[in-house]
Amino acid sequence: MYIFNHLLVATDCSERAERAEARAALLVQEHKCDVAELLTVRECGEPEILAQIMNSTVASATALVAENAGRVLAYRADVHKDNYGVQFTCKVRFGRPASEIVIRAEELRTDLVVIGAHGGNFFSDLLLGNTADKLTHLCKSPLLVVKNKPSQSYQRVLVPVDFSEDSRRAAEAALAIAPQADITFLHAFEVLFEGKMQYANVAPDIIDEYRMKAFEDAREQLNQLIGGIEAGGRRMQRAITFGLPGPVVRDYAKATRPDLIVLGKHGRSRIEEMLLGSVTRDAIDQTESDVLVVPAAGGT
């Protein structure tokens, strides 16, 4: 069972990051977290550039950048204390953002990392990956990517499942992070070799029989998955849809507008995801919902 007690918020103090900070503050309030930290990471080359401009030492420039960043974080922490009654500690680090966030998360034994969703240049994201995308691969803790300005706790949560152990972990994380929310479990199913049957001109009614059998098998497996989860008497909805997982999740989220999508991350390599597509990345890039990514057991 997941317990969200140690929480790390990675922020660049932008408007999008402010949404993530506010969501994190709500979660700290709701879960009564013992550890809650605002972390900002400055690029390691920034002090060197500033030192040249100021004609000073790198050490002096580093101290100045850290002081200014710390002052901004402290102000943000005070705002969240006034608005939500929660206390954040503040930390400034230098280096590559994704790497430093992961290191700090491990130092704090973080139960949840929260970050704002960032848009960007398509080609640079494709070649280099943005921070959120990198963290979905590197982070060993659940990662919450926040897109929306929060007004209340999560109320409608969508959990796409494929009946794997990763799906079960995602279901448990969804129940834990949103204890008051309505949960919908969504499964996308296909018929094995349907394309080949169509190519071979198999009669449509025979293909429909195969689809019905696949649907019934999926419903049975979904009931088994839900039946094995400690839900505390909460009502959980089921949805089974024919199609590929990525488009099914995207279209279902567009139609139902959940506050949060929770996904269990499989241990595939980045090359496999580039070639085959990633439901996780599609959910982050192509839906309007916040996305919680739950890593596979033992990390990514």
Tell me which residue has tokens 């900002």.
40
Q: Is 101 exposed, middle or buried (0-12, 13-18, 19+ CB in 10 A)?
A: buried
Please give the single-letter amino acid code of residue 89: T
Q: Sign of torsion, CA 251 285 11 78?
A: negative
Q: What is the pLDDT of residues 6-40, one digit of tens each?
A: 999 999 888 889 999 999 999 999 999 999 999 99
Q: What is the pLDDT of residues 163-208, one digit of tens each?
A: 888 888 999 999 999 998 999 999 998 766 556 566 666 667 776 6
The helix/strand count (H/E) of the chain reads as: 12, 10
Question: What would the CATH number be for the domain defined by 152-300?
Answer: 3.40.50.620
For the chain, residues classed under CATH 3.40.50.620 are: 1-149, 152-300
Mean pLDDT of 67-86: 94
Query: Under CATH, what is the fold of the domain 1-149?
Result: Rossmann fold (3.40.50)
Q: Percentage of residues in the chain with pLDDT exceeding 70?
A: 85
For residue 159, report the phi and psi dihedrals to the nearest 5 degrees.
-125, 95
Q: Are 134 and 265 in contact (CB under 8 A)?
A: no
Q: What is the pLDDT of residues 39-76, one digit of tens each?
A: 999 887 777 777 777 777 878 888 888 899 999 999 99
